[in-house]
Amino acid sequence: MKSRFFFGIIFLFVYTAKAQQPTTPEGVTAIKAGRVIDVENGRVLEKQIILLRGKKIEAIGGELKIPAAAKILDLSTKTVLPGLIDCHTHLADGAHDGNGDPTSQLKRTASQVVLESVPNARMTLESGFTTVRDVGVYRALNDVALPDAINHGYIVGPRMFVAGAYITITGGAGAMDLDYGEANSPWEVRQNVRLMAHAGADHIKLLSTGAVLTHGSNPNAQEFTLEELQAAVSEANNFGLRVAAHAHAPEGIKNAIRAGVASIEHATLIDDEGIALAKEHGTYLDMDIYDDECIQAAGKTNSIPADFLEHDRNLGEIQRRNFTKAVRAGIQMAFGTDAGVCPYDVAAHQFAFMVKFGMTPMQAIQSATSNAATLIGKPEEFGSIRPGKSADLIAVDGDPLADIRLLEHVTFVMKEGVIYKQ
């Protein structure tokens, strides 16, 4: 009876969300913006008019004439930015329980997990992230189902680019009793890439090294071989897909870069040679330097498995030092939080840490806008405010270049011309 009640409530929530969801915009909207962050040129534009037609930005300028029939939105006291992009999320992994233990997935059906993920999508969008790159789920293809529901208007959430499932070695990082995505040779890797591509994946997620939040794993362990990593990149390229590689250990990071992955996720123990290789190959680093706050907080309340805390010992401090080194070296950086380790509505807290450990506020904002859009492969569609791009806009009170923490309090959110928060 409890199970039936739970699913009854969830389905009612989903149906109601569709009924209450904002409608597709029509006609022209004019936004009066006090300030606009021009991320492409690293500057602030004062007193701008942004004209929108439907889902797209039509024009921006200080002297634009507003059409007589246009709907006017007054953001003249606010700073307007492109919608934010998080390049490392796990929105489709169900309700955030604070302990990060993947074995909890085995106690719930795949349907229950994906329905629990509905609030994750809404919270993420309402906190200012209009696009995410979701990089793997324990329940295969739940992350394909979630954006399908968003795109059909059944639920509210960000634009999602998904991986379908992890590709990992048997018993490796991200592995459980669910064997979807396990591979132990170059040809098995190719087979799994083909499965993901057929299932609707937008990119491929490989686990090159051990993990922190996996039982029996070792973050210092190299797992996939160079040949297996090369097979993944080669096969992904056949389908026009990019590869993101989870990697903590130095050799696993360097092998993934040599194989041609688009990004290194975490990059915790990257060494000087790895930084040089990333710069040479143009590989993005996606370093989730806020996560350690949530892991350690869970440890203080004994709500996270002891072996996970042991895996994490000292890694947060090392990762932050290496983040500083990578920024100083001029490595391409994208904003990624591993959302799900921390609650889904606190992703913007990472901005302050990125500034604390070496970025300028503008660099931090660029990492979550123009840089992130380029990593995903859609810089012509979103990631900045200019004509022809999607009308993905957020606004904050005050100047985030003076106080980056203002991004933790977004007051206006628009995705594809539709207002979701005001």
pLDDT of residue 4: 41
| C-alpha–C-alpha distance, residues 105 and 176, integer Å | 10
Tokens read off for 77: 């006291």
Sheet holding 204-207, edge to edge: 166-167, 204-207, 243-247, 263-266, 284-286
CB-count exposure of residue 26 (10 Å: 0-12, 13-18, 19+): exposed
What are the backbone angles phi and psi of residue 63, rounded to the nearest 5°? -120, 20
Which distant-in-sequence residues (6+ apart) come within 8 Å of 306 by Cβ?
none
| Whole-number Cα distances in Å, 418 to 19, 104, 270, 281 | 15, 36, 41, 38
DSSP conformation class of 136: -
- Phi/psi for 218 (5° steps) reads -140, 110
Locate all alpha helices (DSSP H) within 240-396, ordered by sequence: 250-259, 272-281, 291-300, 306-312, 315-329, 350-356, 361-367, 370-376
Task: State residue 175's pLDDT score.
Answer: 64
81 burial (CB, 10 Å; 0-12 / 13-18 / 19+) is buried
CATH 2.30.40.10 positions along the chain are 28-82+384-421
∠ CA 70-75-81, nearest 5°, is 105
What pLDDT is recorded for position 301?
72
User: Residue 258's pLDDT is what?
Assistant: 98
Those residues whose C-beta lies under 8 Å from the C-beta of residue 297, and which sit 6 or more positions away, are none
Please report the pLDDT score of residue 311 as a whole number. 63
Query: SS3 of 103, please?
Result: helix
Residue type, 38: D
CATH topology of domain 84-376: TIM Barrel (3.20.20)
Q: Is 360 helix (H, G, I), strand (E, B) or coil?
A: coil
pLDDT at 213: 63
Query: Whole-angstrom Cα distance, residue 376 to residue 132?
Result: 9
Rg, Å, the chain Cα set: 21
Neighbours of 145 (CB within 10 A): 20
- State the first-to-last Cα distance of the chain, in angstroms, to the nearest integer: 39
Q: Looking at residue 176, what is its pLDDT?
A: 58
CATH fourth-level superfamily of 28-82+384-421: Urease, subunit C, domain 1 (2.30.40.10)
d(CA 309, CA 213): 9
What is the pLDDT at residue 171?
Answer: 77
Q: Are strands 204-207 and 243-247 parallel, antiparallel or unpaired?
A: parallel
pLDDT tens digit at each of 422 positions of the chain:
444 434 444 444 554 444 345 544 568 999 999 999 999 999 999 999 999 999 999 999 999 999 998 999 999 999 999 999 999 999 998 887 655 666 677 778 888 988 999 999 999 999 999 999 999 988 889 999 999 999 999 999 999 999 999 999 987 766 654 556 889 999 999 999 999 999 999 999 999 997 666 665 677 778 999 999 999 999 999 999 999 999 999 999 999 999 999 999 999 999 999 999 999 999 999 999 999 888 888 777 766 766 666 767 788 899 999 999 999 999 999 999 999 888 999 999 999 999 999 999 999 999 999 999 999 999 999 999 999 999 999 999 999 999 999 999 999 999 999 999 99
Query: Which pLDDT value is given to residue 355?
Result: 98
Strand pairing category for 43-53 and 56-61: antiparallel
Q: Provide the token pair at 162.
A: 């998904």
CB 31 within 8 A of CB 73: yes
